[in-house]
């Protein structure tokens, strides 16, 4: 007998459309913009260097880990216990644990900073996304 499929709602980080996907899905194609969308949670452990990290799930950086990326975009939030050097775009909360360090810009609905966390510069925009779609801000010029 087949197990029932459990669905969860996610938001496309390309166009902002709401999707219903299976709870075990890793990637899907957005029916609104036809782009490939990663829906799994991303967990960084150790040292990671790279370009863009985008997911409809959550991103976590464990203690004593270091992530250097161009951009981290997570629709369900970012939890930092280690060090991050990147531009953050979060559809939910960015949590900075005690002993963590963030260097870069941050665009999030909520920012939670524990005593002992370190923030090195950057432009911060905290609050509801003015576009309402949860996608990355568009660059002009």
59-74 mean pLDDT: 95
- Pick from 6-10, 25-29, 111-115, 122-126 the range whose average pLDDT is largest: 111-115
Instruction: With beta carbons less than 8 A apart as the criterion, state whether 125 and 106 touch.
Output: yes
- Inter-CA distances, 33 with 18, 30, 55, 58, 132, Å: 11, 6, 16, 22, 17
Name the DSSP class of 121: S
Per-residue model confidence (pLDDT) at position 101: 97
Q: What DSSP assignment string belongs to 84-115?
A: EEEEEEEEEEEEE-TT-EEES-EEEEEEEE-T
Sequence-ordered list of residues with C-beta below 8 angstroms from that of 56, at least 6 positions apart, any chain: 10, 11, 12, 13, 19, 37, 38, 39, 75, 76
Q: Is 53 exposed, middle or buried (0-12, 13-18, 19+ CB in 10 A)?
A: buried
11-27 mean pLDDT: 89
Judged by DSSP in three states, 42 sits in strand
**b/e 54-76 (16+ beta carbons within 10 angstroms → b):** bbbbbbbbeeebebebeebbbbb
Instruction: With beta carbons less than 8 A apart as the criterion, state whether 86 and 72 touch.
Output: yes
The model's pLDDT over 75-123, given as tens digits with 9 standing for 90+, comes to 899 999 999 999 999 989 999 999 999 999 999 999 999 999 999 988 9
Best CA proximity match to 95, nearest among 82, 114, 76: 114
């Amino acid at each position: 007998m087949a197990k029932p499929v459990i669905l969860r709602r996610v938001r496309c980080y390309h166009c902002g459309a709401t999707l219903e996907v299976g709870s075990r899905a890793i990637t899907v194609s957005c029916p609104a913009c036809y782009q490939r969308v990663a829906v799994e949670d991303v967990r960084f452990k150790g040292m990671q260097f790279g370009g863009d990290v985008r997911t409809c799930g959550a991103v976590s950086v464990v203690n004593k880990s270091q992530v250097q990326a161009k951009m981290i975009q997570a629709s369900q939030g970012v939890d930092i216990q280690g060090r991050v050097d990147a531009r953050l775009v979060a559809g939910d909360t960015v949590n900075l644990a005690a002993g963590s360090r963030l260097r870069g810009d941050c665009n999030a609905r909520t920012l939670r900073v524990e005593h002992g966390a370190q923030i090195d510069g950057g432009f911060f925009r905290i609050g509801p996304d003015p576009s309402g779609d949860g996608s990355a801000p568009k660059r002009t010029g």
